[in-house]
């Protein structure tokens, strides 16, 4: 009886071993990641075999050349219309110089201010030089009367020393005031009437010199006027 049971146990153990061996089937090997599965028709193309799409070339627009502005044409300089002839200008200069020498001498004798006396002395010296040059123009260009001469002559008579009746420091003030009025009128006529009309180069140079001397006399007279008590 015991022997029968032992055989039965051994038979059952052999049957169990066979069942375990049958159940432990080895797993199938997985395909390599980069290898296509069997039966696949996928084809790998090389770089040389990849089709490319040609992109049409785009032409760059031409760079415009910088514009060059045309050189402006200078208009012809129009010479100012001469209102006075050279002979008429010389006549007006003669009126400007007439009597100035005598007035400057009289001012020196009547002045009480040292500054006024020196101013009159400078005027006397300048008028002598200008009269010499003006006489030369009268001989070479002639001298004609005109309204320009009348304007200069009127301004000169308004500044005449004989018209000043005061004395002392009052005379000095009145004399400088009259000189400023005359010199300002003269420089205005030189700038606006004489220089635009003068044609002879030597006459133009003389007028430019006279203009500069007149401007200096105006500055000197203005300074003296501000200091007379």
Q: What is the CATH number of the domain that holds 99?
A: 1.20.1260.10
Is residue 178 situated within a structural domain?
Answer: yes
Q: What percent of the chain is modeled with pLDDT above 70?
A: 65
In the prediction, which pLDDT does 64 show?
A: 53
Three-state SS at 210: helix
Residue 196 clears pLDDT 90, i.e. is over it: yes
Cβ-based neighbours of 87, under 8 Å, separated by 6 or more: 141, 142, 143, 144
Tell me, yes or no, whether 27 lies in a domain: no
Per the structure, the complete domain to which residue 190 belongs is given by: 86-227
Tokens matching residue 159: 């500044």
The pLDDT value recorded for residue 190 is: 97
In a domain, 175, yes or no: yes
* Contact in structure between 98 and 156 (CB atoms under 8 Å): yes
104 with 121: CB under 8 angstroms? yes
For residue 199, tell me if it sits in a domain. Answer: yes
22 or 166, which is more confident: 166
Specify the higher pLDDT residue, 169 or 229: 169
Counting the structural domains of the chain, the total is: 1
What's the pLDDT at 215? 97
Supply the pLDDT for residue 113: 93
Residue 95 domain-assigned (yes or no): yes
pLDDT band at 31 (very low <50, low <70, confident <90, very high): very low
Q: How far is CA 137 from CA 44, 68, 70, in A?
A: 114, 52, 48
Hey, is 80 helix, strand or coil?
coil
In this predicted structure, the answer to whether residue 208 has a pLDDT above a threshold of 60 is yes
Please enumerate, as own/partner, the contacts of 101-110 that have beta carbons within 8 Å and a separation of 24 or more.
101/127, 101/128, 101/131, 103/159, 103/160, 103/161, 106/161, 106/162, 107/161, 107/175, 110/161, 110/167, 110/171, 110/175
42 domain-assigned: no
Closest alpha carbon to 156 in 222, 228, 214:
214
Instruction: Examine residue 44 and state whether it is found in any structural domain, yes or no.
Output: no
Model pLDDT, residue 148? 97
Using one digit for the tens of pLDDT, what is the confidence trace for 50-77? 455 555 555 655 655 555 555 655 554 4
């Amino acid at each position: 009886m015991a022997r029968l049971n032992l055989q039965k146990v051994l038979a059952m153990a052999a049957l169990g071993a066979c069942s375990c061996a049958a159940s432990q089937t080895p797993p199938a090997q997985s395909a390599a990641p980069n290898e296509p599965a069997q039966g696949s028709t996928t084809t790998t193309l090389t770089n040389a075999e990849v089709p490319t799409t040609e992109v049409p070339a785009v032409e760059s627009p031409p760079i415009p050349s910088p514009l060059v502005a045309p050189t402006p044409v200078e208009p012809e300089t129009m010479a100012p219309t001469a209102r006075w002839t050279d002979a008429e200008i010389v006549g007006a200069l003669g009126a400007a110089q007439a009597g100035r020498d005598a007035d400057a001498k009289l001012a020196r004798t009547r002045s009480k201010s040292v500054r006024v006396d020196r101013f009159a002395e400078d005027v006397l010296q300048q008028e002598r030089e200008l009269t010499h040059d003006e006489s030369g123009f009268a001989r070479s260009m002639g001298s004609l009367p005109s309204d320009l001469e009348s304007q200069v002559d009127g301004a000169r008579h308004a500044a005449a020393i004989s018209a000043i009746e005061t004395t002392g420091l009052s005379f000095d003030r009145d004399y400088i005031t009259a000189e400023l009025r005359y010199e300002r009128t003269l420089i205005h006529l030189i700038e606006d009437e004489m220089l635009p009309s003068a044609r002879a180069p030597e006459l133009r140079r003389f007028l430019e010199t006279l203009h500069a001397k007149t401007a200096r006399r105006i500055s000197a007279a203005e300074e003296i006027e501000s200091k007379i008590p």
